[in-house]
Amino acid sequence: MLRQIHSLPGLIAALLLVVLAISGALLSVNPAIERMNTTMPADGQVSVAVLAERVAQHFSGIEQIQRTPSGSVIVYYSKDGQTGAERVDPLSGLSIGPYAPSTFTRWVKNLHRSFLSGTTGRVVAGLSALTMLVLCFSGVLLLVKRQGGWRQLARPLRGSFNQRWHGELGRITIFGLLLSALTGLYMSAATFGLISDGMQEEPAFPAELVTGPAMPVGTMPSLLNTDLNDLVELVYPLPGNSEDFYSLRTAQGDGYIDQTTGTLISYQTHNNVRKTYELIYQLHTGEGLWWLGLILGLCALMVPIMSITGTIMWWQRRQSMPRIANNDGAQSADIVILVGSENNSTWGFAKALHDGLHQAALRVHTAPMNQLATEYRKAKHLFILTATYGDGDAPASANQFLERLPAFTGHNKPTFAVLGFGDHQFPKFCQFAKDTQEALLAQGWEQSIDLNTIDRQSTQEFLRWGKSVGQLLDRELTLTYTPKLPKTHVLELISRDDYGIQVQAPTSIFRFGPVTRKGPIARFKRLIGFTGLPRFEAGDLVGIVPQSSPVPRFYSLASNSKDGFLEICVRSHPNGVCSQMLHNLKPGEHIDAFIQPNPEFRPASGKLPVILIGAGTGIGPLAGFIRNNTGKYPMYLYWGGRDPASDFLYKPELDTYLADHRLTQLHAAFSRVKVGAHVQDRVLGDASQIRQLVENGAQILVCGGRPMAANIVQALNEILAPAGLDVHTLKLQGRYREDVF
């Protein structure tokens, strides 16, 4: 529901909001430009009387003196039957130049206030401000939910390019857009009299005036007591009319001045309503607060970009929602598939399961989890495929499932299996899938397959789960689903270093670069340092598409694009389609690959220590972090291999890093040399040092296989217990991150 509240108003009013944003951004520059060209006397330096006297020395027939909120002083006068307006220097009264409001600026103001359509346009502008307000609040709530709570709001954003840009720009501009929306809505309501703007309270019109010779304007007591910086407007009496008076408007109040005595004959102080309106007017326009105007203008310029990324995200969600063919009825199906998804990505896997079961001659019904029926008359099996949203919450299509579950009253309860989708970087990985399983068990449902989880939409893990489903149903079932891949890059193998042959664990470090091209353009690009590589950082993932399979395999990167090459560390597996392909490559041969950002897995910026822990090929990204530790901040590496004579990966580089202090300490463990020598043993052996580093703010990064990662968690919990800490706490603080496979 929250996503619909955010998406629908944005889609409907996108064009109007873009017009408001761009016109508002254009108008926001004017106060700053005006302020730059204005002399601002200090408070008390110049009174209105002194200003009027100085102006009178250079202008005749003065009708009015105005001071804009940005400080410009404008004199309106008549000469020889012609009227004029000049900007003047308040310190001298001399003309700076003619005052001629820009026709373009007036047009933009009219566009911004009413879409050039009078009263109807003002109504639309007010509704647009209300829409922006709804988008701001719903956007914040969505971001909080997506990030896993208010405390996680500042953590790096994950997702597609458009998702990250949309969320990042929203996070940066939210306060500016919220301020513009609130103040714009207030001003719109005041325009239509829905709330008071305080303008109705005016000073009483003078009943009687003292007649006599007019006092020189420069000696009038009321004007001598009025500071120029408080002036809004001084209107002169009609020439030759002794019964007319001066009209004075200031920041504090308005009044009338007797031209004979120079004293106030009537005065009305601005009430709180009027002061509130004028403050809100300043906050909205930036007039008088030029720096705020520029900030709001920059925020407004982000609205068109967010409109584009938001529309693209909506369209991608629409496109990712598959059309389920051969979807049998809920009460006639042999198998029921229920789907929990936030952005529809889980539906692709559900469709693959549905199609596979249908091809196996089974009747299948697939629906969102929120459409759980009260009974399934014929179903023997229930498969639930669900993602987790934010901090362990239910995704959009499953947010009513746990409430509906007790209403299931059917006598036939099919056995169930839950498959969770998530990202291991989040502390509550696949939490909603776990909650779903516990709720079903609590309601007396029988489980057919243990809970399985899919990390970052891994097609390999989905394929393995599909084999378990096939065994359960006694059917040959091969589930293949490949999410839509981004554009791939052709990369050429530059070099490779081979290890591990003697310990029957062939492992290679591969370095790829762009395909070598010839010609003057290619030479020029190399001359200016253009690498031809996509942008990536150590710790990001490269998806490599094997020649014999459309399913990409992901490997953690051990280099930055600025290094000039793409480096990965890969062990050869006997049945590994991609690893076998890579190990058969020779320098000069090519692969197809794309980059998947992984901003959660990298050292935090700053000088605090970093503890790197890995085993086997997990050393790849860790070596990349050390290579790029140009600030030479404290880094401690714990790594496990088999035999230092065979598979001491990156040994020459690590020796160099130790020598130049990019690496502070190296602790390696080799299981074939000493029984029980694993990386977790080296970690436990340095318990006091690690505990001290963590207490001093150290971050821990772990990369390698899941069994190793589980052992490291157990070891660290044991080490940190005396300090009142554990891995879960460090994860919540963003100080424990892992990339496991």
On whether both 460 and 356 belong to a single domain, the answer is yes
Q: In the listed set 473, 497, 518, which residue is the last one of a domain according to the structure?
A: 473
Give the single-character DSSP code of 234: E
DSSP per-residue codes, 52-101: HHHHHTT-SSEEEEEE-TTS-EEEEEEETTEEEEEEE-TTT--EEEE---
Q: Is residue 6 over pLDDT 70?
A: no
The confidence score (pLDDT) of residue 118 equals: 85
Q: In the listed set 286, 313, 340, which residue is the last one of a domain according to the structure?
A: 286
Over residues 306-334, the pLDDT tens digits come to: 888 888 887 776 665 667 888 999 999 99
Give yes or no for a contact between 96 and 55, defined as CB atoms under 8 angstroms apart: no
Lowest mean pLDDT segment, chosen from 131-135, 200-204, 565-569, 576-580: 200-204
Which residues span the domain enclosing 176?
A: 2-23+105-198+280-286
On whether both 207 and 189 belong to a single domain, the answer is no
Q: Please report whether residue 573 resides in a domain.
A: yes
On whether both 687 and 712 belong to a single domain, the answer is yes
The confidence score (pLDDT) of residue 364 equals: 94
339: left (phi over 0), alpha (psi -120 to 50) or beta: beta
**In the predicted model, what is the mean pLDDT of residues 110-117?**
87
Q: Please report whether residue 63 resides in a domain.
A: yes
Q: Please report whether residue 162 resides in a domain.
A: yes
Q: Is residue 3 over pLDDT 70?
A: no
The confidence score (pLDDT) of residue 9 equals: 58
Rounded to the nearest integer, the mean pLDDT of the chain is 87
On whether both 456 and 542 belong to a single domain, the answer is no
**In the predicted model, what is the mean pLDDT of residues 283-295?**
86
Residue type, 630: T
On whether both 537 and 638 belong to a single domain, the answer is no
The confidence score (pLDDT) of residue 731 equals: 86
The confidence score (pLDDT) of residue 44 equals: 81
The confidence score (pLDDT) of residue 376 equals: 93
Query: Tokens 């696949």 sit at which residue?
Result: 430
Classify each residue of 582-605 as buried b or exposed e, where b means 16 or more C-beta atoms within 10 Å of its C-beta. Answer: bbebeeeeebebbbbbbebbbbee
On whether both 650 and 731 belong to a single domain, the answer is yes
E-only strand ranges, 280-414: 335-340, 364-368, 381-387
Q: Please report whether residue 308 resides in a domain.
A: no
Q: Is residue 530 over pLDDT 70?
A: no
On whether both 189 and 212 belong to a single domain, the answer is no
Question: Would you say how long the chain is, in residues?
Answer: 741
User: For the chain, what is the domain count?
Assistant: 5
On whether both 8 and 127 belong to a single domain, the answer is yes
Lowest mean pLDDT segment, chosen from 121-130, 355-364, 377-386, 414-423: 121-130
On whether both 83 and 154 belong to a single domain, the answer is no
Return the top range by mean pLDDT from 15-19, 138-142, 206-210, 679-683.
Answer: 679-683
The confidence score (pLDDT) of residue 481 equals: 82
Residue % of the chain over a pLDDT of 70: 92
Q: Please report whether residue 98 resides in a domain.
A: no
The rounded distance, in Å, linking the Cα atoms of 716 and 683 is 8
On whether both 407 and 543 belong to a single domain, the answer is no
